[in-house]
Chain A
Amino acid sequence: MIAILVFAIGLLFSCGTYLVLQRTLTRVIIGFSLMAHGANLVLLTAGGRAGRSPIVDGGGGARFADPLAQAMILTAIVITFGVTAFMLALVLRSWRLTRDDEVEDDLEDRRIAELTEHGGLE
């Protein structure tokens, strides 16, 4: 079971990294969500072996699944949700301003690059 999870984490992270490196903003968001899922699975595997029953009434011992890892995942999911919503709003704004879904070049960088090509900054 752990092996499957580890494989899934690797897959999520590789796909996520690939998508985040794209220039299209919607793909960046999807890529980010995939990576966040991967991170949540990392936390889940950190909590111990799969197949244990959930904790009831604070009953301790190793027979129960680790509640702390699950609490951390829940918090992380909420945060990811909020940030993803914000990014979607930002992409919408970007679309309205430019009618385009791509990350723009930095103007100042481009200006300085042109200056250096033409020799001298002043």
Chain B
Amino acid sequence: MTALLALPIAVPLAGAALSLAARRRLALQRVIGLVATSCTLVSTVALLAVVETDGPRATQLGGLPAPAGITLVADLFSSLMLVVSSAMLLAVLVYAIGQRGTDSRSWVFHPVYLLLAAGISGAFLAGDLFNLFVTFEVMLTASYVLVTLGGTRDQVRAGMTYVVISLFASVLFLVSVGFVYAAAGSVNLADLAGRLDQLPDGLVGALGLLLFVVFGIKAAIFPLFFWLPDAYPTAPTPVTAIFAGLLTKVGVYAIIRTQTLLFLPDGGGASTLVLAFAGLTMVVGVLGAIAQNDIKRILSFHIVSQIGYMILGLGLLTVAGIAGAVFYIVHHIVVKTALFLAGGLVEHSTGSGSLARVGGLARRSPMIALLFLVPALSLAGLPPLSGFVAKLSLAEAGFAADHYLIVAVSLLVGLLTLFSMSKIWGGVFWGEVEPVVPDGAATKLRSPRLMTASTAALVALSLFVAVAARPIYDLCERAAEGLLDPTSYVAEVLR
């Protein structure tokens, strides 16, 4: 059991070390990367299967008993996230290998990418606040390197903003870990769940708010989102895609995990606050997207907007609401990554992502058009795609909890999302065929097969999420029940 829990972290770490050793041989690095991410995917699927039948599983690294040791724990929520994220990491790696100049320009790419994978898995598995901090740092430090890997002026400028804001959040995180430890005498999440009950309400509320702000910066919740649309679009497409799909979602995961386990159930007024932030995040994000004129920037603002939906599910604090949020995260990770990859295909085949400079692509490359259209409509929530199922389950949960206003806001935002997606469609795929812009990386019109294949695989996966919506939603519902009633989680960790 210990091995299965440690594998999603250990395999990418070992891969990173090997890849570092093989730094002069690109082909070998590629094989190591693919093997490591594939093995991670297999191990996470196995972990999900075990957790699905046996309930939460935990292990203590280094042999120290629970409250003091390094706890790795997987419940349904975290193992579901692990499976989806490792599938994305594999697909995006294939795309990166197919795109010329992404991994061949610097031998750093592969080791750092695997470190990022290890950090993401670690964050999903961490059983205490301090290890969550450490794994976050592993993930973020790898992301700093990936964002600025090209070393161009734009990347350094955008990377600087991103690094400074993330570091500020990290310092705040460290301080809140210190406060929690001072107040409760433990940083183990399962241990804290019992201890925080004995503390004064005001103190617990303040700690909860502090952690909400910390993870809110990482998850890009209004008003802490401003760094995201600046930082993400400058990086190479595969890097942006993996950031868009996964990094902010790790923040959302941490919010849902800490708030449900430690703070919200007896927070009272706190959940109204969460709902308010959810609504503002949705609206501001989508309005920002409408004002933009570049594919990657539009999609980046949509990340912000979509985070609002996930937080909305958390704010409802019912099983249906959190199940909706979990389903939304699964759907969003797949669809958003696919969209960014499709956006990258547009840039690759035309040399630009600016709506004004590209046109008529539907006639010239119908395949790219299709690969963009399906996830775009899914993001907007059109039936019968996965986004529709996700939004429907959140709306139903909202009605059931009598929060009509926030449901109305979320439906309106869905409409605006459709509007901004049709803006991309109209600008890029319809209209006159524009000549290829010469300044881009593209010299050929044809998209390389690997890039198209990996995008197509993700689009197919998003269709699968829609087709298998019932069993996946049932899984999310059970994950949500586990989140709202963490007795088995706590018992397993403190065993």
Contacts and interface: CB of A to CB of B under 8 A. Distances in A.
Interface of A: 20, 25, 28, 32, 35-36, 38-40, 42-43, 45-47, 68-69, 72, 75-76, 79, 82-83, 86-87, 90, 93-94, 97-98, 103-104, 106-109, 112, 121
Interface in B113-143: 130, 133-134, 137, 141
B168 interface: yes
What secondary structure prevails in chain A residues at the interface with B?
helix
A46 B291 contact: no
B294 interface: yes
Interface string B278-295: 000000000000011110
A83 B179 contact: no
30 contacts: A20-B164, A39-B178, A42-B178, A42-B179, A43-B174, A43-B181, A45-B182, A69-B181, A72-B130, A72-B177, A72-B187, A76-B133, A79-B137, A83-B137, A83-B144, A83-B170, A87-B167, A90-B148, A90-B159, A90-B163, A93-B148, A93-B151, A94-B156, A94-B157, A103-B157, A107-B154, A108-B230, A109-B230, A121-B291, A121-B293
Given A86-B141, A103-B160, A104-B157, A32 B171 contact: yes
Nearest to B136: A79
Contact of B145 (A25, A32, A42, A86): A86
A76 B159 CA distance: 22
B297 interface: yes
B188 to A, nearest CB: 10
Nearest to A112: B291
A32 B158 CA distance: 18
B160 A46 contact: no
B38 interface: no
Given A43-B178, A76-B174, 11 more contacts: A39-B178, A42-B178, A46-B182, A75-B130, A82-B141, A83-B163, A87-B167, A90-B148, A98-B153, A108-B230, A108-B292
Contacts of A75: 130, 134
A47 B111 CA distance: 36
A103 B161 CA distance: 8
Given A20-B168, A82-B141, A106 B160 contact: no
A40 B174 CA distance: 8
B135 to A, nearest CB: 11
Contact of B160 (A40, A42, A90): A90
B178 A46 contact: yes
B156 A42 contact: no
A95 B163 CA distance: 16
Contacts of B171: 32, 35-36, 38-39
B441 interface: no
A39 B177 CA distance: 9
A45 B174 CA distance: 13
Contact of B294 (A32, A93, A108): A108
Contacts of A103: 157, 160-161
B175 A39 contact: yes
B179 A46 contact: yes
A26 to B, nearest CB: 12
Contacts of A82: 141
A97 B174 CA distance: 33
Contacts of A45: 178, 182
Contacts of B164: 20, 28, 32
B68 interface: yes
Interface in B166-194: 167-168, 170-171, 174-175, 177-179, 181-182, 187
Interface string B67-100: 0100000000000000000000000000000000
Contact of A87 (B153, B163, B174, B292): B163
Contacts of A46: 178-179, 181-182
A98 to B, nearest CB: 7
B356 to A, nearest CB: 10
Nearest to B174: A39
A72 B132 CA distance: 12
B179 A25 contact: no
Contacts of A79: 134, 137, 141
Contacts of A25: 160
Interface in B260-301: 291-294, 297
